[in-house]
Structure 1
Amino acid sequence: MHRSIIAIARRDSSLDRATFVRVDIVLVSGRAVDGRQHPSAAAAMAIAGRLVGSHRVRWLCVLDREQDEPCPPSGVEFCSVRTTVPPFRSALARIFELSSETRLMELCRDDPPDVVHCIAFGAAASVQLPWLAGRLGIPTVVSVDPADALCHRGTLVDERGATCTTLDDAVRCADCCLSATPGGLGPIAAWLGRRFMVFGDASPWPSRTAMLNRLDSTIGGLVVERNVIVDDERDRVLLESVGVAATVLPRNDVERLGKLYERLGRSE
């Protein structure tokens, strides 16, 4: 049974005393979101560059159709998957992505790693990825940005420009996402979306049911994960507000991440 990263983080001294173990790591970075490079790609580059001399590092890089492929550090086993980002109105399609799920399953099935670290979750990478690795018995680490996981807009800012204070209200989320705003729906699409609300589940727009299913998929996916990590205390509190336990371990803290990988690999 793999111990929770929460318990591990409370025993930093035990991490420091850990005996070195060479582990096989698969890093999964996310695609660009609304044309902006996701920070998981830079994090994967840094982690891979620091650890490749001591561990086996494989990097599954999820890209959109327009992104340039990164040049990984020497020695890193690199593979990429190109995906098409669904339109904003397709709320659920944006958090599931079959080609990256299939590629991760192939990696884990054909040559099982000791650890899979999903450095993106939600808007930038499928919420199924850590679950799939876990079903194959592989320990997973999930780095989470609450805006990616909990907000279809990816901002945690509502249509009026105010910071969201209730993060698990599907009705409020649908009303927000059916408003005409920059980065979301245009005026005509917003008007159509509201008219389609009478069709309930059959609406192709960000309906209340779609928002509820999105929240259930992201929050439910994280609740069952043992090793959820965030970049700072603010993010930890945001996840805690929706029932997800997380530990502060920034994606750029490569030294502590390396020790975590070793501990998870040792517990196999």
Structure 2
Amino acid sequence: MTSPSTHKAGITLSLIGIGCGDPEQLTLAAIRAINAADLILIPRKGSEKSELADLRRTICADVLTNDKTRVVEFDLPVRDADAEDYRKGVDEWHDAVAATWSREIKNHLGHEGRVALLIWGDPSLFDSSLRIARRLDPLPDIEVIPGVTSIQALCAAHALPVNEIGESFLVTTGRRLRDDGWPDYLNTVVVMLDGGAAFQSLNTEGLTIWWGAYLGMPNEILMSGALAETGPHIVAVRNAAREKHGWIMDSYILKRSP
């Protein structure tokens, strides 16, 4: 891994936040960055998640006016979801992704130019693109174009303010919610990257949920209500949607009555 002090490559990597599925969530800065790129890399995550690549293709078709910009697709390495050591498994996967990025940049751009990756949501929130980018060899200059996050999209879809007056809230993952529970001092929890509806592990008394899947996409699903009654319906709808599409990307907000 090359340190910033020894950086000699003339590559600039733009990590461009593209929102949560609605091309209209693109900012003007994102559109400018897309058109400033010499190379745009679109990752493929297998046939089950082809809709994610389709959205990136649609964005390029809609806003890319620079006929010198090349768009190249590549296959992402697959993370070992069954690894006994979760952190080690993620670390090894990030190394593999970084090696793939480096190879694609070298093959299609060489040692000088601007390369862009279109990042779901925002590159800074529960996304590993920045960590992966700092593993590239040689290390490029890195710029970040912020995007609409799934938290913002979920709150907007439900017309819901995420925080109560004068209160903090927790943003966490389904795994951490299930393993660590809900902190007693907080009344609001935002949950992302939940592969198994971790809210089922909670005592539902006094809890309300606002849930959304495929936010901003044509197949967006929204549900809300008391967790005791709504939770089982969400689980059923979630399972059916995952079966239909082969994948699901959802998030939710839980609030506890003070």
Give the TM-score taking structure 2 as reference length.
Answer: 0.40
From the two aligned structures, give the one with the greater strand fraction: 2
